[in-house]
Amino acid sequence: MAETTKAKTLVLHIEVPGVYADDLDASAAEYAKYDEREPTPQDYLEVVLEEWMRSEVGLTIVTLPGEKNMHEDFEVHAYNGLIVGAEVRDA
């Protein structure tokens, strides 16, 4: 019987400067207050997916020529992905 291996999935944590997120903390706190607890990462994710955007996103990754890419030209790779986490950081 042939052995099957599961493919692994790359999970990227990408910071997106310029996207307004000033009220994400307060919105996540609203989700958590009904259970009288502090907001969790799941609350942040729910705010983003329920109120701000869809879970499925299109990603375009452009590799730059040089040190980590042996090609002499730019390469463009397009993927469909899922938002699996959300957080805010001070700018």
| Model pLDDT, residue 89 | 84
> Is 19 among the domain residues?
no
> Is 39 among the domain residues?
yes
CA dihedral over 47, 42, 44, 48, signed as positive or negative = negative
DSSP state of 81: E
| Model pLDDT, residue 10 | 83
Mean pLDDT per 10-residue run, the chain (91 residues)?
Answer: 78 82 93 94 94 90 74 84 89 72
Q: Give the total number of structural domains in the chain.
A: 1
| Model pLDDT, residue 70 | 67
Residue-number span of the structural domain to which 35 is assigned: 24-82
> Is 8 among the domain residues?
no
| Model pLDDT, residue 30 | 94
| Model pLDDT, residue 28 | 95
> Is 69 among the domain residues?
yes
Q: Which residues of 52-82 are buried (b: 16+ CB within 10 A; e: fewer)?
A: eeeeeeeeeeeeeeeeeeeeeeeeeeeeeee
> Is 16 among the domain residues?
no
| Model pLDDT, residue 1 | 57
